[in-house]
Protein backbone atom coordinates (compact mmCIF):
# COMPACT_ATOMS: atom_id res chain seq x y z
CA UNK A 1 0.00 0.00 0.00
CA UNK A 2 1.47 3.40 -0.99
CA UNK A 3 0.61 6.09 1.51
CA UNK A 4 1.17 9.79 1.30
CA UNK A 5 2.89 11.16 4.39
CA UNK A 6 -0.14 13.03 5.62
CA UNK A 7 -2.57 10.32 4.67
CA UNK A 8 -2.23 8.24 7.81
CA UNK A 9 -3.00 8.73 11.46
CA UNK A 10 -1.10 8.14 14.66
CA UNK A 11 -2.79 6.44 17.56
CA UNK A 12 -1.26 6.54 21.06
CA UNK A 13 -2.07 3.71 23.47
CA UNK A 14 -0.76 2.72 26.89
CA UNK A 15 2.45 0.72 26.59
CA UNK A 16 2.09 -1.37 29.69
CA UNK A 17 -0.70 -1.01 32.21
CA UNK A 18 -4.33 -1.63 32.93
CA UNK A 19 -5.57 -0.35 29.55
CA UNK A 20 -2.94 -2.06 27.37
CA UNK A 21 -4.46 -5.49 26.98
CA UNK A 22 -7.99 -4.26 26.27
CA UNK A 23 -6.70 -1.61 23.86
CA UNK A 24 -4.67 -4.17 21.90
CA UNK A 25 -7.57 -6.59 21.91
CA UNK A 26 -9.88 -3.91 20.52
CA UNK A 27 -7.41 -3.03 17.74
CA UNK A 28 -6.88 -6.66 16.75
CA UNK A 29 -10.63 -7.39 16.87
CA UNK A 30 -11.08 -4.40 14.57
CA UNK A 31 -9.08 -6.25 11.94
CA UNK A 32 -5.88 -4.21 12.34
CA UNK A 33 -2.70 -6.19 11.78
CA UNK A 34 0.51 -5.03 13.42
CA UNK A 35 3.61 -6.40 14.98
CA UNK A 36 3.87 -7.36 18.60
CA UNK A 37 4.85 -4.20 20.45
CA UNK A 38 7.43 -5.53 22.87
CA UNK A 39 10.43 -3.20 23.09
CA UNK A 40 9.16 -1.01 20.26
CA UNK A 41 8.09 2.59 20.61
CA UNK A 42 5.81 2.51 17.63
CA UNK A 43 4.66 0.12 14.93
CA UNK A 44 3.08 0.57 11.53
CA UNK A 45 -0.16 -1.19 10.81
CA UNK A 46 0.05 -3.52 7.82
CA UNK A 47 -3.48 -3.19 6.52
CA UNK A 48 -4.60 0.31 7.53
CA UNK A 49 -2.83 3.69 7.25
CA UNK A 50 -2.13 3.80 10.96
CA UNK A 51 0.89 4.13 13.20
CA UNK A 52 0.56 2.96 16.80
CA UNK A 53 2.64 4.62 19.53
CA UNK A 54 3.22 2.84 22.84
CA UNK A 55 3.52 5.39 25.64
CA UNK A 56 2.73 6.04 29.32
CA UNK A 57 -0.91 6.88 29.78
CA UNK A 58 -0.06 10.21 31.44
CA UNK A 59 1.68 11.40 28.28
CA UNK A 60 -1.26 10.73 25.97
CA UNK A 61 -3.22 14.00 26.56
CA UNK A 62 -0.12 16.12 25.76
CA UNK A 63 0.83 14.02 22.74
CA UNK A 64 -2.65 14.55 21.32
CA UNK A 65 -2.93 18.26 22.23
CA UNK A 66 0.45 18.98 20.62
CA UNK A 67 -0.51 17.08 17.47
CA UNK A 68 2.29 14.57 17.81
CA UNK A 69 -0.39 11.89 17.76
CA UNK A 70 -3.84 12.30 16.21
CA UNK A 71 -5.88 10.04 18.49
CA UNK A 72 -5.34 8.15 21.73
CA UNK A 73 -6.98 5.65 24.06
CA UNK A 74 -6.96 6.80 27.67
CA UNK A 75 -8.87 6.67 30.96
CA UNK A 76 -11.36 9.52 31.19
CA UNK A 77 -9.95 10.20 34.69
CA UNK A 78 -6.53 11.08 33.22
CA UNK A 79 -8.08 13.04 30.36
CA UNK A 80 -10.07 15.21 32.79
CA UNK A 81 -7.18 15.64 35.21
CA UNK A 82 -4.57 16.83 32.70
CA UNK A 83 -5.09 20.27 31.19
CA UNK A 84 -5.27 19.53 27.49
CA UNK A 85 -6.82 20.62 24.28
CA UNK A 86 -7.93 17.23 22.97
CA UNK A 87 -11.53 16.25 22.26
CA UNK A 88 -13.33 13.11 23.44
CA UNK A 89 -14.77 11.35 20.38
CA UNK A 90 -15.80 7.88 21.64
CA UNK A 91 -16.42 5.94 24.87
CA UNK A 92 -15.24 2.35 25.18
CA UNK A 93 -16.62 -0.55 27.19
CA UNK A 94 -13.49 -1.23 29.25
CA UNK A 95 -11.29 0.46 31.84
CA UNK A 96 -14.21 1.04 34.21
CA UNK A 97 -13.29 2.58 37.57
CA UNK A 98 -14.35 5.36 39.91
CA UNK A 99 -12.46 8.24 41.40
CA UNK A 100 -13.54 8.32 45.03
CA UNK A 101 -12.95 10.09 48.32
CA UNK A 102 -11.90 7.44 50.85
CA UNK A 103 -11.53 7.80 54.61
CA UNK A 104 -10.22 5.51 57.38
CA UNK A 105 -12.79 2.83 58.36
CA UNK A 106 -12.98 4.11 61.93
CA UNK A 107 -13.06 7.76 60.91
CA UNK A 108 -15.74 10.07 62.31
CA UNK A 109 -16.03 11.87 58.98
CA UNK A 110 -19.70 11.45 58.13
CA UNK A 111 -20.56 14.37 55.86
CA UNK A 112 -18.64 16.34 53.25
CA UNK A 113 -18.63 19.25 55.65
CA UNK A 114 -16.61 17.17 58.13
CA UNK A 115 -13.72 17.44 55.63
CA UNK A 116 -13.63 21.24 55.96
CA UNK A 117 -10.04 22.38 56.52
CA UNK A 118 -8.73 18.79 56.39
CA UNK A 119 -5.80 17.54 54.30
CA UNK A 120 -6.53 15.27 51.37
CA UNK A 121 -3.85 13.26 49.56
CA UNK A 122 -4.28 12.56 45.86
CA UNK A 123 -2.67 12.29 42.43
CA UNK A 124 -5.82 13.90 41.04
CA UNK A 125 -5.23 17.45 42.26
CA UNK A 126 -7.19 19.24 39.59
CA UNK A 127 -10.37 17.10 39.80
CA UNK A 128 -10.21 17.13 43.62
CA UNK A 129 -9.82 20.92 43.80
CA UNK A 130 -12.69 21.39 41.41
CA UNK A 131 -14.98 19.03 43.32
CA UNK A 132 -14.42 20.71 46.69
CA UNK A 133 -14.63 24.21 45.20
CA UNK A 134 -17.99 23.31 43.65
CA UNK A 135 -19.17 22.07 47.03
CA UNK A 136 -17.74 25.18 48.73
CA UNK A 137 -15.66 23.15 51.19
CA UNK A 138 -12.15 24.53 51.73
CA UNK A 139 -9.54 21.76 52.03
CA UNK A 140 -5.78 21.34 51.80
CA UNK A 141 -4.30 19.04 49.15
CA UNK A 142 -1.03 17.10 49.22
CA UNK A 143 -0.06 15.79 45.84
CA UNK A 144 1.17 12.19 46.02
CA UNK A 145 2.15 10.24 42.95
CA UNK A 146 2.77 6.84 44.51
CA UNK A 147 0.84 4.87 47.11
CA UNK A 148 -1.82 7.41 48.05
CA UNK A 149 -3.69 4.83 50.13
CA UNK A 150 -1.05 4.72 52.89
CA UNK A 151 -1.16 8.46 53.64
CA UNK A 152 -3.98 8.41 56.26
CA UNK A 153 -2.25 5.66 58.28
CA UNK A 154 1.02 7.58 58.43
CA UNK A 155 -0.74 10.81 59.41
CA UNK A 156 -0.13 12.75 56.20
CA UNK A 157 -3.81 13.14 55.32
CA UNK A 158 -7.29 12.66 56.79
CA UNK A 159 -8.71 11.36 53.52
CA UNK A 160 -7.62 10.47 49.99
CA UNK A 161 -9.03 10.83 46.50
CA UNK A 162 -8.00 7.86 44.37
CA UNK A 163 -9.10 5.38 41.73
CA UNK A 164 -11.20 2.51 43.07
CA UNK A 165 -12.09 -0.59 41.15
CA UNK A 166 -12.80 -3.65 43.33
CA UNK A 167 -12.11 -1.73 46.55
CA UNK A 168 -9.63 -4.30 47.80
CA UNK A 169 -6.71 -1.83 47.94
CA UNK A 170 -8.79 0.42 50.19
CA UNK A 171 -9.84 -2.50 52.39
CA UNK A 172 -6.24 -3.67 52.80
CA UNK A 173 -5.33 -0.20 54.02
CA UNK A 174 -8.30 0.09 56.42
CA UNK A 175 -9.99 2.68 54.25
CA UNK A 176 -13.55 2.85 52.92
CA UNK A 177 -15.24 4.72 50.09
CA UNK A 178 -16.86 7.87 51.44
CA UNK A 179 -18.09 9.32 48.13
CA UNK A 180 -17.54 8.57 44.45
CA UNK A 181 -16.84 11.80 42.57
CA UNK A 182 -16.28 10.52 39.03
CA UNK A 183 -17.23 7.38 37.07
CA UNK A 184 -14.58 6.70 34.45
CA UNK A 185 -13.89 4.38 31.51
CA UNK A 186 -11.50 4.24 28.59
CA UNK A 187 -12.21 6.84 25.90
CA UNK A 188 -10.89 7.82 22.49
CA UNK A 189 -9.55 11.37 22.27
CA UNK A 190 -8.48 13.32 19.20
CA UNK A 191 -6.41 16.33 18.23
CA UNK A 192 -8.78 19.11 17.16
CA UNK A 193 -6.81 20.03 14.02
CA UNK A 194 -6.76 16.38 12.92
CA UNK A 195 -10.55 16.26 13.29
CA UNK A 196 -10.76 19.13 10.81
CA UNK A 197 -8.36 17.56 8.32
CA UNK A 198 -10.58 15.80 5.77
CA UNK A 199 -8.18 12.88 5.14
CA UNK A 200 -7.52 12.21 8.81
CA UNK A 201 -11.14 12.65 9.71
CA UNK A 202 -12.08 10.03 7.15
CA UNK A 203 -9.57 7.58 8.64
CA UNK A 204 -10.80 8.32 12.17
CA UNK A 205 -14.38 7.67 11.12
CA UNK A 206 -13.41 4.38 9.52
CA UNK A 207 -11.61 3.31 12.69
CA UNK A 208 -14.49 4.39 14.90
CA UNK A 209 -16.95 2.42 12.79
CA UNK A 210 -14.80 -0.68 13.38
CA UNK A 211 -14.48 0.04 17.12
CA UNK A 212 -18.24 0.50 17.45
CA UNK A 213 -18.82 -2.71 15.49
CA UNK A 214 -16.61 -4.63 17.88
CA UNK A 215 -18.25 -3.06 20.95
CA UNK A 216 -21.80 -3.74 19.74
CA UNK A 217 -20.85 -7.32 19.02
CA UNK A 218 -19.61 -7.85 22.57
CA UNK A 219 -22.80 -6.29 23.92
CA UNK A 220 -25.09 -8.55 21.89
CA UNK A 221 -25.67 -12.24 21.17
CA UNK A 222 -27.39 -13.88 18.23
CA UNK A 223 -30.35 -16.02 19.29
CA UNK A 224 -32.41 -18.63 17.43
CA UNK A 225 -35.43 -20.46 18.82
CA UNK A 226 -38.58 -22.35 17.92
CA UNK A 227 -41.89 -21.14 19.30
CA UNK A 228 -45.64 -21.54 18.87
CA UNK A 229 -46.81 -19.08 16.21
CA UNK A 230 -49.48 -17.62 18.48
CA UNK A 231 -46.79 -16.49 20.98
CA UNK A 232 -44.98 -14.33 18.43
CA UNK A 233 -46.31 -10.97 19.66
CA UNK A 234 -45.38 -11.79 23.27
CA UNK A 235 -41.88 -12.83 22.18
CA UNK A 236 -41.39 -9.69 20.09
CA UNK A 237 -42.16 -7.58 23.16
CA UNK A 238 -39.49 -9.44 25.13
CA UNK A 239 -36.82 -9.00 22.45
CA UNK A 240 -36.99 -5.55 20.90
CA UNK A 241 -34.06 -6.64 18.64
CA UNK A 242 -32.47 -4.31 16.16
CA UNK A 243 -35.27 -4.29 13.65
CA UNK A 244 -37.91 -6.98 13.24
CA UNK A 245 -36.73 -10.51 13.96
CA UNK A 246 -36.39 -13.01 11.11
CA UNK A 247 -39.30 -15.45 11.21
CA UNK A 248 -39.67 -18.64 9.22
CA UNK A 249 -42.31 -21.39 9.39
CA UNK A 250 -41.37 -24.84 10.68
CA UNK A 251 -42.55 -28.15 9.22
CA UNK A 252 -44.72 -28.61 12.35
CA UNK A 253 -47.93 -26.68 11.79
CA UNK A 254 -48.39 -23.72 14.16
CA UNK A 255 -44.68 -23.47 14.95
CA UNK A 256 -42.15 -20.89 13.79
CA UNK A 257 -38.42 -20.32 13.99
CA UNK A 258 -37.27 -16.88 15.21
CA UNK A 259 -33.82 -15.37 14.76
CA UNK A 260 -32.72 -12.06 16.26
CA UNK A 261 -30.11 -10.35 18.45
CA UNK A 262 -30.38 -9.92 22.18
CA UNK A 263 -28.55 -7.67 24.61
CA UNK A 264 -25.98 -9.40 26.76
CA UNK A 265 -26.97 -7.57 29.96
CA UNK A 266 -30.59 -8.80 29.91
CA UNK A 267 -29.61 -12.18 28.52
CA UNK A 268 -30.53 -14.63 31.30
CA UNK A 269 -33.73 -12.97 32.41
CA UNK A 270 -34.94 -12.87 28.78
CA UNK A 271 -34.09 -16.54 28.19
CA UNK A 272 -36.02 -17.53 31.33
CA UNK A 273 -39.09 -15.59 30.18
CA UNK A 274 -38.85 -17.03 26.65
CA UNK A 275 -38.92 -20.54 28.06
CA UNK A 276 -41.94 -19.71 30.21
CA UNK A 277 -43.79 -18.44 27.12
CA UNK A 278 -43.08 -21.74 25.35
CA UNK A 279 -39.94 -21.19 23.26
CA UNK A 280 -37.89 -24.33 22.64
CA UNK A 281 -34.53 -25.30 21.13
CA UNK A 282 -32.99 -21.97 22.03
CA UNK A 283 -29.55 -21.54 20.42
CA UNK A 284 -27.30 -18.61 21.29
CA UNK A 285 -24.25 -17.61 19.25
CA UNK A 286 -21.61 -14.98 19.88
CA UNK A 287 -21.44 -12.16 17.34
CA UNK A 288 -18.14 -11.26 15.82
CA UNK A 289 -18.99 -7.82 14.46
CA UNK A 290 -22.20 -5.84 14.30
CA UNK A 291 -22.41 -2.81 12.02
CA UNK A 292 -25.48 -0.60 12.48
O1 LIG B 1 2.71 3.28 33.55
P2 LIG B 1 1.58 4.15 33.20
O3 LIG B 1 1.76 5.58 33.67
O4 LIG B 1 1.22 4.03 31.75
O5 LIG B 1 0.31 3.54 33.97
P6 LIG B 1 -0.33 3.94 35.38
O7 LIG B 1 0.28 3.08 36.42
O8 LIG B 1 -0.35 5.40 35.58
O9 LIG B 1 -1.86 3.55 35.14
P10 LIG B 1 -2.60 2.13 35.28
O11 LIG B 1 -2.10 1.19 34.25
O12 LIG B 1 -2.61 1.68 36.69
O13 LIG B 1 -4.09 2.59 34.95
C14 LIG B 1 -4.45 3.07 33.69
C15 LIG B 1 -5.93 3.47 33.72
O16 LIG B 1 -6.73 2.30 34.01
C17 LIG B 1 -6.34 4.45 34.77
O18 LIG B 1 -6.06 5.79 34.43
C19 LIG B 1 -7.83 4.20 34.89
O20 LIG B 1 -8.51 4.89 33.89
C21 LIG B 1 -7.96 2.70 34.61
N22 LIG B 1 -8.18 1.88 35.83
C23 LIG B 1 -9.15 0.94 35.96
C24 LIG B 1 -7.46 1.87 36.96
C25 LIG B 1 -8.02 0.92 37.81
N26 LIG B 1 -9.07 0.34 37.16
C27 LIG B 1 -7.42 0.69 39.10
N28 LIG B 1 -7.94 -0.15 39.84
N29 LIG B 1 -6.37 2.57 37.34
C30 LIG B 1 -5.81 2.35 38.53
N31 LIG B 1 -6.29 1.44 39.44
C32 LIG B 1 -5.51 1.32 40.71
C33 LIG B 1 -5.88 2.35 41.76
O34 LIG B 1 -5.07 3.50 41.61
C35 LIG B 1 -5.57 1.68 43.08
O36 LIG B 1 -4.19 1.72 43.40
O37 LIG B 1 -5.76 0.10 41.34
C38 LIG B 1 -5.90 0.26 42.75
C39 LIG B 1 -7.32 0.05 43.19
O40 LIG B 1 -7.81 -1.11 42.66
P41 LIG B 1 -8.83 -1.99 43.51
O42 LIG B 1 -9.32 -3.01 42.56
O43 LIG B 1 -8.04 -2.56 44.65
O44 LIG B 1 -9.93 -1.05 43.98
ZN1 LIG C 1 0.31 6.71 34.42
Best residue among 16, 24, 57, 168 to mutate for probing ligand 1's pocket (most ligand atoms within 8 Å of CB) is: 57
Ligand nearest to the CA of 77: 1
In total, the chain counts a number of residues equal to 292
Contact 220, 285 (CB under 8 A): no
Residue 9 has pLDDT above 90, yes or no: yes
Q: What are phi and psi of 149, to 5 degrees?
A: -65, -15
pLDDT of residue 201: 97
Q: What are phi and psi of 62, to 5 degrees?
A: -70, -40
pLDDT of residue 199: 95
Q: Is there an atom of ligand 1 within 6 Å of 168 CB?
A: yes
Q: Is the torsion defined by CA of 156, 161, 165, 166 positive or negative?
A: positive
Mean pLDDT of the chain: 93
Quick: pLDDT tens for 227-285: 999 999 999 888 876 667 899 999 999 999 999 988 888 888 888 999 999 999 999 99
CA-CA distance, 115 to 92, in Å (whole number)?
34
Q: Which atom of ligand 1 is nearest to the CA of 18?
A: 11
**Confidence band, pLDDT 50/70/90 cuts, at residue 5:** low
pLDDT of residue 241: 66
Q: Give Rg (Cα) of the chain.
A: 24
**Confidence band, pLDDT 50/70/90 cuts, at residue 289:** confident
Q: The pTM is what?
A: 0.88
Over the range 47-64, which residues count as b (16 or more CB within 10 Å of their CB) and which as e?
ebbbbbbbbebebbbbbb
pLDDT of residue 1: 47
Helices (H), the chain: 20-29, 60-65, 76-81, 125-134, 168-172, 192-196, 198-219, 232-238, 267-277
Q: How far, in Å, from the CA of 114 to the mean position of ligand 1?
A: 28
Residue 286 has pLDDT above 80, yes or no: yes
Helices (H), 118-191: 125-134, 168-172
Region at 95 (left for phi over 0; alpha for psi -120 to 50; beta for the rest): left
Quick: pLDDT tens for 65-113: 999 999 999 999 999 999 889 999 999 999 999 999 999 999 999 999 9
CA-CA distance, 134 to 192, in Å (whole number)?
28
pLDDT of residue 2: 47
Residue 45 has pLDDT above 60, yes or no: yes
CA-CA distance, 175 to 139, in Å (whole number)?
19
Residue 133 has pLDDT above 60, yes or no: yes
pLDDT of residue 184: 98
CA-CA distance, 3 to 69, in Å (whole number)?
17
Amino acid sequence: MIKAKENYIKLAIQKSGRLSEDSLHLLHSSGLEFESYKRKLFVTCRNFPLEILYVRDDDIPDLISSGFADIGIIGENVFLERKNDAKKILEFNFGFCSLAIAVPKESNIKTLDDLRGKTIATSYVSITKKFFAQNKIPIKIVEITGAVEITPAVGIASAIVDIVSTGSTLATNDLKVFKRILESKAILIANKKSIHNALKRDLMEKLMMRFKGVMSATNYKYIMMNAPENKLEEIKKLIPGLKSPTISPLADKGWISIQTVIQEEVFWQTIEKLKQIGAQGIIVLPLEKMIH
